[in-house]
A and B are shown apart, each in its own frame.
Chain A
Amino acid sequence: MEKAFFDQDNNDNSLDRVDGRLKVTGAATYAAEYQLPNVTHAVLVTSTIAKGRITSLDSKLAEQAPGVLAVISHVNSPGVPAYGSSPAMPQRATLGTPLRVFHDNLIYFSGQPVAVIVADTWQRAEFAASLVKVQYEKEPHQTNLEANLSRAALPANVQRDKNSRYHDYDRGNPEELNTAAVKIEATYKIPTEHHNPLEPHAIIAHWEAPDKLTLYDKTQVIKGTQGNLARAFKLPLENVKVQAKFIGGAFGSGIRVWPHVMAATLAAKKVQRPVKLVLPRELMFTSVGSRPETIQHITMGATKDGKLTTITHEAVAHTSTYEEHTERTILATRMLYDCPHVSTRYRLVNLDVNTPTWMRGPGEVTGVYALESAMDELAYALQMDPLELRRRNHADSDPEKNLPWSSKSLKECYAKGAAHFGWHKRNPEPRSMRQGQMLVGYGMASSTFGVHRNYAKSRAVFQADGKVIVQSATSDIGPGTGTAMTRIAADTLSLSPAFIRFDLGESTLPDAPGQTGSTTVSSVGSAVKVACEALKQKLLQLAVNTPNSTLYNTNPADLSVEQGRIFKTGNPATGVTYTEILKQNNLPQLEVTEESKPGAEWQKYSMSAFGAHFVEVHVNPTTGEVRVKRVVTCAGVGKVINHKTARSQSIGGVVGGIGMALTEESVMDHRFGRYVTGDFANYHVPVHVDIPPIDVFFIDEHDPHVNPVGAKGLGEIAIVGVAAAVANAVFQATGKRIRDLPITPDKLI
């Protein structure tokens, strides 16, 4: 079947962001902005050593400071009931033991909360925090991944789970490498990176009664946070309410229940008033996870005509001493290319730092950076066009799972991206292309991210005024969840989007999974679709069962709907509107709640999204400054629900990838075990002047297998591969292969 392209210049009938007006007028309410009577302000005191124990914590001066209501630490914490009964707190995500806040005097990382001050104003809490005197007994700490590689080990949680995909993996005979005609071998490093959403993490914790807790929290996992707090404080689930209607970005930092959430909740318990806690930017580096620093070693072997024969991929990442964070780093290597002999190894080293977590494109973004850099190196070793090398090794089915793809448009992405970019104009010879003084480089990389889907529920209510309210306890960290859901509901119900209101961001709504791993449209979107379909069927049934209806006794199969009007197919003049049907039946409203979950299709198909990025860089040969001049990105992500917001999501991914490639690095001073790049002046994210025009294309894929909506997810794949494309372009421009990100000027001169 001929596949249609979404052309960015084609003005389609995309919806504007449904909450755009609220956001451009300042009326959108983020976590710290709820106005609660009697609210108090909390400030954290954090450890200044990376390992050891607190020997004394003197809070007398702080307690006497103006406006201070309480100083809470391990000395006087009201305690978290679940901490006491078991050494490991039950939770849904990472395996291990989440930090137990104010539980004992042990220090696991620098920046660990050791006390929280509550005062009537934030300034007073800040001041009082400076008066707390903490003394420690230090122990030697380890924060340097490279210096601790000898301790790299298969994660214990993998050892316990024989079905884990992180076990050592061998396909064919990786020893074949020795006989390969052409070989390459290289080590790639990415530093620790921090999500740094622009809105710092913030929470207002409010005990409305001794057994009733409400949290206004910056979280992308609303139901998960509700469950987690209910378990921690041994409360019935319905006694915990979580609200997160607007979230100022998260990129993964809002997936887990972090220590500051517990600190605020404990503080609110102590002072019996609502407590607001906003992390200062510097604590965003030690409080809400990071992308783990990762060192990867890759070898590749190929025949002379560029057919891959072997790939080996070893990845070692850091984790904390109290938890094991694992991610999909080595998985793409097993499926992105058709290669008979493949082996992967995944190892962790625990360090005296806070636990890393998922950050946009988790795992894949790290692994594909290394894999796609290595492919470029192999192309040069073969003296072959890097795009041609990828085409020759295209995987027509999943070589790991031995399953057909549910759909795949990688070849179309290569073709569309290359044509639009003008890849044929590339002279592969490094340092051969110039514009004025500048060295010019073209680079490309493939991209992939697995399709995932979770259980989700949605309620759809048709109201007498013709409006439909659709609900699910999902969130919107920025992609435009409400907009996509409005679109799905409108299309399913054959109604104008103007009649749809989508509610999200509250734990009282029907169950939704966390907004993680590009699963929101595939999971929640499917539930919305199923619920709206059920609602439509109910309306059709009513129409044919209502005696005074013009459609009475018509076979529902013979009916069509347009703009909320049901009529006999082929005869639009007949018929009734949804609203009339309700009126004829004296119904104030019509409501359905439906659920949706993955099924047997997951055994029959391998499901992934694929794409390709093309990047042009200019490098100043004197200063080593790299400027990205243009980017073309193309992806096959199943059905694109709303092109306008989808395009923005892709652009955002590319921007994140450019940051990863060129500027982002959290630098640790190992003497103190502490990040020294704790603000935007030192942790460099791209700004306006760093970002060129970005052209986005989607291949319109019809994939009936992934889920009822047919969408594969977009948030993650948008960033996967971008850093490799930039690094490959830098190589072609300069002849220098920089294998440790970010590619800062000092590495090029």
Chain B
Amino acid sequence: MARNKKTDGVDESTEPGSFAPNKARRTFLKKSSALVALALTPPPVLKAAEMEDQVTAAFEKVKITLHVNGTRHKLAVEPRVTLLDLLREDLKLTGTKKGCDYGQCGACTVHVDGKRVLSCLSLAVMQNGRKITTIEGLADGEKLHPLQEAFIKHDGLQCGYCTPGQIMSAVACIREGQAGSEPEIREYMSGNICRCGAYPNIVNAIMEVNQSGQKV
């Protein structure tokens, strides 16, 4: 019932029902990077396995600039790295969560140029020059964002793992003008799964903030 469907629907696995995803894509990446490395690099370098690793890595990386929570980051990233993994593993911004990696749970929701985006379905290289806001960038210093306050007040969380994604979606939901009623909120928040089942409290939190007319 998750409303966000897996967009990468191609099953390239060979075994029936095998879960190994995207073998072909990986093989391609490996081959192409190795070929480029082979063409441009003097033979002695290729002999050293360690060097080969570094060379391959260097050729596989793309230079991008991201503005994350107001900070400019100049980065060299592999094209296959998702925005989610870049945030969590490279920038150590672990507030954005990985719940499924397939665009089905909403835990990884961030704002890109103000719009909600599933960061697991977005490659980091596609965001060059964009402004990213994560849960860590939502509060104004010590002062929590109204939705963060409301989630605490209405207890719109239990384990807290879906919470950053719920809050980022909720902010967008209000900004989009899709938080006018409880049914509307339920509909437009349905891409964010909460396995702990905090849904009614989350809806109450969003309703309150929307009705208060506060800027979100």
Q: Nearest 10 pairs between A and B by C-beta?
A: A26-B95, A655-B197, A248-B161, A23-B160, A478-B159, A478-B158, A652-B197, A26-B135, A680-B104, A33-B94
A228 within 8 A of B: no
Which residue of chain B lies nearest to A41 when distances are taken between CB atoms in the complex? B89
Segment of B39-47, B77-85, B111-119 in the binding face: B77-85
Contacts A648-B198, A652-B198, A691-B186 given; 18 further ones with Cβ under 8 A? A17-B152, A26-B94, A33-B94, A35-B92, A66-B53, A123-B81, A249-B161, A477-B159, A655-B196, A656-B197, A671-B16, A672-B16, A679-B102, A680-B193, A685-B193, A687-B192, A688-B186, A689-B187
Segment of A74-82, A191-199, A347-355, A443-451 in the binding face: A191-199
B30 within 8 A of A: yes
What are some 6 contacts across the A-B interface (CB < 8 A)?
A26-B94, A48-B15, A123-B78, A648-B198, A655-B197, A679-B100
- Chain B binding surface, main DSSP class: loop
**Residues in chain B near residue A655, CB distance under 8 A:** 196-197, 199
The residue from A648, A663, A678 contacting B1, defined by CB atoms under 8 A apart: A663
**Residues in chain A near residue B16, CB distance under 8 A:** 669, 671-672
A5 within 8 A of B: no
Tell me the chain B residues, 128-160 only, with Cβ under 8 Å from chain A: 134-136, 138-139, 144, 148, 151-153, 155, 157-160
Find out whether the CB atom of A17 lies under 8 angstroms from the CB atom of B155.
Answer: yes
**What per-residue 1/0 map shows which CB atoms of A177-201 lie under 8 Å from chain B?**
0000000000000000000111110
Find out whether the CB atom of B158 lies under 8 angstroms from the CB atom of A690.
Answer: no
- A233 CA to B23 CA, complexed, in Å: 36
With A130-B27, A649-B158, A678-B19 already in contact, the answer to whether A694 and B57 are too (CB < 8 A) is no
Chain A contributes a number of interface residues (CB within 8 A of B) equal to: 83
Find out whether the CB atom of B159 lies under 8 angstroms from the CB atom of A248.
Answer: yes
**Residues in chain A near residue B155, CB distance under 8 A:** 16-17, 20, 644-645, 647-648
**Residues in chain B near residue A393, CB distance under 8 A:** none
Find out whether the CB atom of B97 lies under 8 angstroms from the CB atom of A199.
Answer: yes
Find out whether the CB atom of B201 lies under 8 angstroms from the CB atom of A127.
Answer: no
Q: How far is the CB of A88 from chain B (nearest CB, A)?
A: 30
- A645 CA to B154 CA, complexed, in Å: 10
- A542 CA to B195 CA, complexed, in Å: 49
- A283 CA to B21 CA, complexed, in Å: 12
Find out whether the CB atom of B197 lies under 8 angstroms from the CB atom of A654.
Answer: yes
Q: How far is the CB of B202 from chain A (nearest CB, A)?
A: 7
Which residue of chain B lies nearest to A477 when distances are taken between CB atoms in the complex? B159
Which residue of chain A lies nearest to B134 when distances are taken between CB atoms in the complex? A26
Considering residues B6, B102, B190, B197, which has the most beta carbons from chain A within 10 angstroms of its beta carbon? B197
The residue from B1, B20, B198, B201 contacting A129, defined by CB atoms under 8 A apart: B20
The residue from B96, B98, B192, B197 contacting A691, defined by CB atoms under 8 A apart: B197
With A20-B152, A652-B197, A687-B2 already in contact, the answer to whether A199 and B159 are too (CB < 8 A) is yes
**Residues in chain A near residue B104, CB distance under 8 A:** 281, 679-681
B163 within 8 A of A: yes
Find out whether the CB atom of A17 lies under 8 angstroms from the CB atom of B97.
Answer: no
**What per-residue 1/0 map shows which CB atoms of A245-262 lie under 8 Å from chain B?**
011110100000000000
The residue from B56, B101, B163 contacting A66, defined by CB atoms under 8 A apart: B56
Which B residues have a C-beta under 8 Å from some C-beta of A?
1-3, 5-6, 15-20, 23, 26-27, 29-30, 33, 49, 52-53, 56-57, 78, 80-81, 85, 88-89, 92-102, 104-105, 107, 134-136, 138-139, 144, 148, 151-153, 155, 157-164, 167, 182, 185-187, 189-203
Which residue of chain A lies nearest to B168 when distances are taken between CB atoms in the complex? A26
**Residues in chain B near residue A127, CB distance under 8 A:** 26, 29-30
Find out whether the CB atom of B18 lies under 8 angstroms from the CB atom of A278.
Answer: no
With A281-B102, A684-B1 already in contact, the answer to whether A24 and B200 are too (CB < 8 A) is no
With A21-B144, A23-B157, A652-B198 already in contact, the answer to whether A688 and B190 are too (CB < 8 A) is yes
- A24 CA to B19 CA, complexed, in Å: 33
Q: How far is the CB of B57 from chain A (nearest CB, A)?
A: 6
Find out whether the CB atom of A25 lies under 8 angstroms from the CB atom of B85.
Answer: no
**Residues in chain A near residue B135, CB distance under 8 A:** 24-26
**Residues in chain B near residue A555, CB distance under 8 A:** none
Find out whether the CB atom of A676 lies under 8 angstroms from the CB atom of B159.
Answer: no
A509 within 8 A of B: no
Find out whether the CB atom of A680 lies under 8 angstroms from the CB atom of B2.
Answer: yes
Q: How far is the CB of A19 from chain B (nearest CB, A)?
A: 7
**Residues in chain B near residue A199, CB distance under 8 A:** 97, 99, 159, 161
**Residues in chain B near residue A17, CB distance under 8 A:** 152, 155, 157
A508 within 8 A of B: no
**Residues in chain B near residue A686, CB distance under 8 A:** 1, 197, 199
**What per-residue 1/0 map shows which CB atoms of A1-42 lie under 8 Å from chain B?**
000000000000000110111111111111011010000000
A380 within 8 A of B: no
The residue from A25, A130, A283, A678 contacting B23, defined by CB atoms under 8 A apart: A130
A122 within 8 A of B: yes
Find out whether the CB atom of B27 lies under 8 angstroms from the CB atom of A16.
Answer: no
**Residues in chain A near residue B194, CB distance under 8 A:** 198, 688
Q: How far is the CB of B32 from chain A (nearest CB, A)?
A: 13
- A5 CA to B187 CA, complexed, in Å: 34
Q: How far is the CB of A498 from chain B (nearest CB, A)?
A: 15
A121 within 8 A of B: yes
**Residues in chain A near residue B92, CB distance under 8 A:** 35
Find out whether the CB atom of B95 lies under 8 angstroms from the CB atom of A27.
Answer: yes
**Residues in chain A near residue B203, CB distance under 8 A:** 688
With A679-B102, A685-B193 already in contact, the answer to whether A16 and B152 are too (CB < 8 A) is yes
**Residues in chain B near residue A513, CB distance under 8 A:** none
- A693 CA to B181 CA, complexed, in Å: 13
